[in-house]
A = this chain, B = another copy of it.
């Protein structure tokens, strides 16, 4: 075995990758092996991620392969499953073969970032899209193109309006840049959809405080609000997203926005793997010293980036931005080298240079060295600074070319989804929501996990409630078993959590697992003979799909 020290870095964002790059510069190859664990093999240039939505930057131009950024680092493209600080072991998810892999370390860097956490917000997990990773950006772009395509075909005016409504939660940098890009993209490609040319598009930004961009000074935030409004973005202040269904966004004030697209850039939480760690935390983040060391694991474990609660030497909380993360990485790498070679830990003292936010279409807001800049010059500054900051020549060339092509030609609107979404999944319904309509095609079977719904038969324009179903009941099997359309409407009485088994999976399971099939065949038989309305106590027998 080698006597080289084993340095393991968890996370491949700004903090993790810059730590690895800095370590490669400081340490000789015979001093330490560097290993980086990340679920992707690339590093994302976050500030430019929103531009992927409109395609003004190509999908792969906003990322760089970690192997090329850190050529001496061993990359392990797996998920971190467990961190054992005492035994100095990291467990990662299995690969092609279902065996766990354990990676021992002498020095550990935790830079796992944040995750989106919709705890306590019913339906958000199923219906709101996060915006953090390249996959999120691609999924959002493909979804937006999909709703435009469907709106162009749809004859129902209500549904068409829903398809053309886009709601973004969170008015920080990320939310503002996303709504700006999204709104610009939709409005510029709309003319290619023959039936949508004269349709109205609704873009809504929801923010919890009195004005957007809390990171910036008043005049800049107000400038951004003015520009967004001029471009047709509706801004709802002092309110926030609290729930969602597949048909609408629900705000704290009770306002409901019918829509098929919800993007949430808030709220955040530490990765679950860190929640299990027995060490001091602050609001779910790992509490570190000013030298970025994890308390009670000094000299062994460092934490930085968005998953760490950091204070500078002067006592200020460090914001979670790229410029801070890269400086934290330098401090962390220097301190690891000091730990290996023997030396003093240096303290994190960077106070920030300023903030920049793009509004797209030649406009931005910037606050640099105390100056407040807005409009075209700020936008130009934004592009120059971020282009200069991206490491390597190839990305600089590619992004410059992308911008050049984007200036000359209209945005691309090809949808590049790889697969149709499918599989067993959960869905949330609010009281009064229709789960399916009589006459619809049968595409799924449903299992009620929480809440109640009514089975409603429509005949000659009159509605009759046949039964009420409760938690544990199934519905929707008849249309699937008989291959006919739904013979009743199902409407939620209360808020509901429902499991949805799509036709394909349902057919496969009932062919392979006879006991599973029997449950539904028996139910369908009983429901087919039951003609009279039933009380809710009887739970199941009633023709209900």
Hey, which bits of chain A sit against chain B, CB under 8 A?
40-42, 55, 58-61, 63-65, 67-68, 71-72, 74-78, 94-101, 134-135, 138-139, 142, 145-147, 149-150, 152-154, 156, 159, 163, 192-195, 260, 393-394, 397-398, 401, 405, 408-410, 412-419, 422-424, 436, 439-443, 447, 449, 472, 474, 499, 501, 505, 508-509, 512-516, 518-519
Selected A-B contacts with CB under 8 Å, 8 pairs: A40-B415, A58-B61, A67-B413, A139-B419, A393-B409, A422-B423, A423-B424, A474-B513
Q: How far is the CA of A397 from the CA of B150 in the complex (A)?
A: 30
Smallest distance from the beta carbon of A115 to chain B beta carbons, Å? 16
Q: Could you say which residues of chain B place their CB within 8 Å of the CB of A149?
A: 41, 75, 77
Contact of A418 among B76, B145, B417 (CB under 8 A): B417
Q: Could you say which residues of chain B place their CB within 8 Å of the CB of A397?
A: 405, 408-409
Contact A405 B409 (CB under 8 A): no
Q: Could you say which residues of chain B place their CB within 8 Å of the CB of A447?
A: 512-513
Contact B260 A96 (CB under 8 A): yes
What DSSP secondary structure best describes chain A's contact surface? Answer: mixed
Contact B440 A98 (CB under 8 A): yes
Q: A41-B414, A67-B413, A95-B154 are in contact. List 15 more A-B contacts (CB 8 A).
A: A41-B149, A42-B414, A60-B416, A65-B192, A77-B149, A77-B150, A78-B153, A94-B441, A96-B159, A98-B436, A99-B441, A139-B419, A393-B409, A418-B419, A474-B513
Contact A508 B499 (CB under 8 A): yes
Contact of A159 among B97, B412, B418 (CB under 8 A): B97
Q: Could you say which residues of chain B place their CB within 8 Å of the CB of A55?
A: 60
Q: Could you say which residues of chain B place their CB within 8 Å of the CB of A71?
A: 192
Smallest distance from the beta carbon of A134 to chain B beta carbons, Å? 6
Q: Could you say which residues of chain B place their CB within 8 Å of the CB of A260?
A: 96
Q: Could you say which residues of chain B place their CB within 8 Å of the CB of A74?
A: 152, 194-195
Contact B505 A98 (CB under 8 A): no
Q: How far is the CA of A405 from the CA of B423 in the complex (A)?
A: 40
Q: How far is the CA of A419 from the CA of B150 in the complex (A)?
A: 23
Q: Could you say which residues of chain B place their CB within 8 Å of the CB of A72?
A: 194
Q: Could you say which residues of chain B place their CB within 8 Å of the CB of A474?
A: 513
Chain B residue nearest to A518 (CB atoms) is: B515
Q: Could you say which residues of chain B place their CB within 8 Å of the CB of A514?
A: 472
Contact A97 B414 (CB under 8 A): no
Q: How far is the CA of A59 from the CA of B95 in the complex (A)?
A: 26
Contact A419 B416 (CB under 8 A): no
Q: Could you say which residues of chain B place their CB within 8 Å of the CB of A60?
A: 55, 58-59, 412, 414, 416
Q: Which of A78, A447, A515 has the most CB of B within 10 A?
A: A515
Chain B residue nearest to A62 (CB atoms) is: B414
A-B interface, 9 closest residue pairs, ranked by CB to CB distance from nearest? A42-B414, A423-B423, A77-B149, A67-B192, A394-B409, A98-B441, A447-B512, A515-B519, A98-B440
Chain B residue nearest to A96 (CB atoms) is: B150
Contact B415 A67 (CB under 8 A): no
Contact of A412 among B65, B76, B393 (CB under 8 A): B65
Contact of A58 among B59, B63, B139, B499 (CB under 8 A): B59
Q: How far is the CA of A442 from the CA of B149 in the complex (A)?
A: 42
Contact of A156 among B41, B97, B194, B440 (CB under 8 A): B97
Q: Which of A154, A394, A513 has the most CB of B within 10 A?
A: A513
Smallest distance from the beta carbon of A483 to chain B beta carbons, Å? 13
Smallest distance from the beta carbon of A15 to chain B beta carbons, Å? 19
Contact A401 B412 (CB under 8 A): no
Q: Could you say which residues of chain B place their CB within 8 Å of the CB of A394?
A: 405, 408-409, 412
Q: Could you say which residues of chain B place their CB within 8 Å of the CB of A138?
A: 416, 418
Q: Could you say which residues of chain B place their CB within 8 Å of the CB of A417?
A: 135, 418
Contact B440 A97 (CB under 8 A): yes
Chain B residue nearest to A134 (CB atoms) is: B416
Contact A519 B513 (CB under 8 A): yes
Q: How far is the CA of A195 from the CA of B73 in the complex (A)?
A: 11
Smallest distance from the beta carbon of A214 to chain B beta carbons, Å? 31
Q: How far is the CA of A138 from the CA of B398 in the complex (A)?
A: 20
Q: Which of A76, A101, A150, A153 has the most CB of B within 10 A?
A: A153
Q: How far is the CA of A260 from the CA of B97 in the complex (A)?
A: 12
Q: How far is the CA of A409 from the CA of B395 in the complex (A)?
A: 10
